[in-house]
Structure 1
């Protein structure tokens, strides 16, 4: 039987409900670690289970959350934690998990890969000075025993990451580095359940392929009052019902002139600009284009989908949000949810915006080029369209459609709109 079960089901299908049911039906004394993005979900899951589940706390003067986590593991307790704490687990914590045959339930995928911030010239220096060696599998081995006050003290982070076994280097003429979540973060568990949607477009899928960690996808269905797993099939998504709930703003023409809200305004030609609203597009956009986008946001929520400020949510790349914010679309840099309606484009697993009946998605998502090249360098194909679609669907399901209510959508990137249309028609 495969170690990893991926419950790949549309938002609201009952993935978390199945997990809670499984824990409450635990007749074999299994121990669980439930991982979720938000503390509010940690509390909800603990309250919904009958396992006497605990969550680590950082008691003043008595150590950090990680220390308390390891004590709970040593005591054999079932535990609920956030993704952030899961990522912080060290070798000792992983050993305790392996020794106690824990089952992992992870709500949404983990952050499994990060670009390591080092210039290619510095990597060359480390190699030429005999500090590191690049192994055949891309792993970085630290060779020297320099002290931090010597010549290459600035590379202490490289040394630490290499010694942890999480650092990879790749490239032909220009070396780059990424750090990976240790694979024993998953392999040390007796069983693993991943609760997500459109797994084939997510980095954790490619990460599993890199480490050759086998997994199988399932759908979840409800029969009577109970949830059960069945072999995966996208027919269980019931996308036709979702399609009925969405009003997607489309380009139109008035007296031969195209509307100015969607991508055709910026393209000015019939050929689609595939990269419009990508991060690199924003980086080179003129002040005039930013102003137009800002005006478009205001116009959509005032003329196309008239919506109160507290009933809408919107997104762009966070570093660009201030330049697009306006009287309708608020942005508070301190993430004060009472003062803004901006939501990060990578948001998942929150119901805080389920009352919102309109949304604006001002991004066009592509995989980070360094992360993409890492996987391609190991002959692992990546699907950037499915990645972009996955994040769009997750964002949309923060709004009123998760309650089966209609929602107006402003998605000015033609690529993102086309991906959504194909998805709704089961073509992706």
Structure 2
């Protein structure tokens, strides 16, 4: 595939000024430059509206008989500067891809997107689909909907839509993987992705799978007015703080013994123990940490778990401090000082094996570390303030301790 998009990875630690540097870049651009900004949360939508007044950013909205997807198409046709969420970005269709390609927009993504997942279909349906309705590209394994069934409507409507987007790829004899349509990225001439440790994230592996090239950029400056993008310099990523003095990891054996083994507190572990007393022990440990070890207010707490198990771990005094496990970008909790991260992260085995079989090197510990740091940096550590964290997984605790040792200012 030929790519004509210039992809820039603005790679710097959370709180280093990535968002402000791109805001300053947008404000310094000419009136002829149009931007589509994609951010995880609605409060960040308001931020771009506020700090880029000359660009008159607008957000797609629902109107009578019109979806947000319909609205964004109209807005691009009008040449508006647009800010929206990742949720809408995931819904791009071929019409919108064509509109973006013709309109010369710059794409800004605050944090990476969800770009790969397993796609479940019964063996019987897979056989019917592949024997009747699709061809399979023998080189790329991509499913291609047959032209003679272009007017098809029925059971495989969603598969037809995904095939037309180039999003379904065979994996093994009767399995499929969903890939975010790469043509969405290729419909923009310039792309800026704001994140930390892109080299450890799924979107990096996805780009490598497609052989899409990208360039790293750094952030320079020390205040909102002076933050700006610059050529990549690894020295710019040097830590500003001595995290050894700021991040206090709970080392109480009684609380940590629940995660003593390498795979304890993984998603598989949660599934295995959801119906027994082990989950109650973990819940008691979380409560003990917040109520008796930290002795703080509920407004000081943040915690998480795998979403299917939130109801089993929520408790009096801390339930409202829950954040989804994949939380990124939001600054709403940056004054909170007590953090509980009772999970052990691993790549989806299906996704992991898909990349490995396509000769894409992955770093599973690096992925786990990257996901954990994104969550922890929702807290007060973001501004260089002390935090206390309960991290019962021996594996995750070791990854964080190693990162602190290697990334603390001397």
TM-score, scaled relative to structure 2: 0.91
CA contact (8 A) 1:35 1:83 kept: yes
Matched, 1:190 2:192: no
CA contact (8 A) 1:112 1:180 kept: yes
Matched, 1:60 2:61: no
Look up the SS of the partner of 2:169 in the other structure.
strand
Cα deviation 1:349-375 (Å, max 9, x = unaligned): 112211211010011111111111221
CA contact (8 A) 1:2 1:215 kept: no
Matched, 1:20 2:14: no
- Where do 4+ consecutive residues of structure 1 move more than 6 Å? 146-149
CA contact (8 A) 2:259 2:394 kept: no
Look up the SS of the partner of 2:219 in the other structure.
strand
Shift of 1:39: 1.6
Cα deviation 1:314-335 (Å, max 9, x = unaligned): 11101111111222331xxxxx
CA distance in 1, matches of 2:267, 2:393: 12
Cα deviation 1:171-197 (Å, max 9, x = unaligned): 1xx431122111121111111100011
CA contact (8 A) 1:148 1:154 kept: no
CA contact (8 A) 1:8 1:198 kept: yes
Farther off after superposition, 155-164 or 300-309: 155-164
Higher relative contact order (CA 8 A, sep 6+): 2
Matched, 1:112 2:115: yes
- What stretches of structure 2 of length at least 5 have no aligned partner? none
CA contact (8 A) 1:221 1:230 kept: no
CA distance in 2, matches of 1:40, 1:28: 25
Look up the SS of the partner of 2:221 in the other structure.
strand
In the alignment, which of 87, 90, 98 is matched to residue 93 of structure 2? 90
Shift of 1:93: 1.7
In the alignment, which of 108, 131, 134 is matched to residue 132 of structure 1? 134
State the partner residue of 2:331.
351
CA distance in 2, matches of 1:77, 1:117: 38
State the partner residue of 1:297.
286
Alignment of 1:3-42 (within 5 A): 3-27=6-30, 29-42=32-45
CA distance in 2, matches of 1:28, 1:214: 28
In the alignment, which of 361, 369, 372 is matched to residue 392 of structure 1? 372
Matched, 1:157 2:158: yes
More helix by share: 2
Matched, 1:249 2:250: yes
Cα deviation 1:244-277 (Å, max 9, x = unaligned): 21111124xxxxxxx2211x3454xxxxx22111
TM-score, scaled relative to structure 1: 0.87
CA contact (8 A) 2:259 2:393 kept: no
Q: 1:2 to 1:246 in 2, by over 3 A?
A: same
Matched, 1:227 2:207: no
CA distance in 1, matches of 2:29, 2:169: 39
CA contact (8 A) 1:4 1:215 kept: yes
Look up the SS of the partner of 1:209 in the other structure.
helix
Matched, 1:312 2:316: no
- What stretches of structure 1 of length at least 5 have no aligned partner? 252-258, 268-272, 331-339
Look up the SS of the partner of 1:425 in the other structure.
helix
Q: CA RMSD in A?
A: 2.2
Shift of 1:240: 4.4
Shift of 1:154: 3.4
Matched, 1:321 2:310: yes
CA distance in 2, matches of 1:198, 1:205: 10
CA contact (8 A) 1:240 1:425 kept: no
Farther off after superposition, 297-306 or 4-13: 297-306
Q: 1:240 to 1:400 in 2, by over 3 A?
A: closer
State the partner residue of 2:272.
284
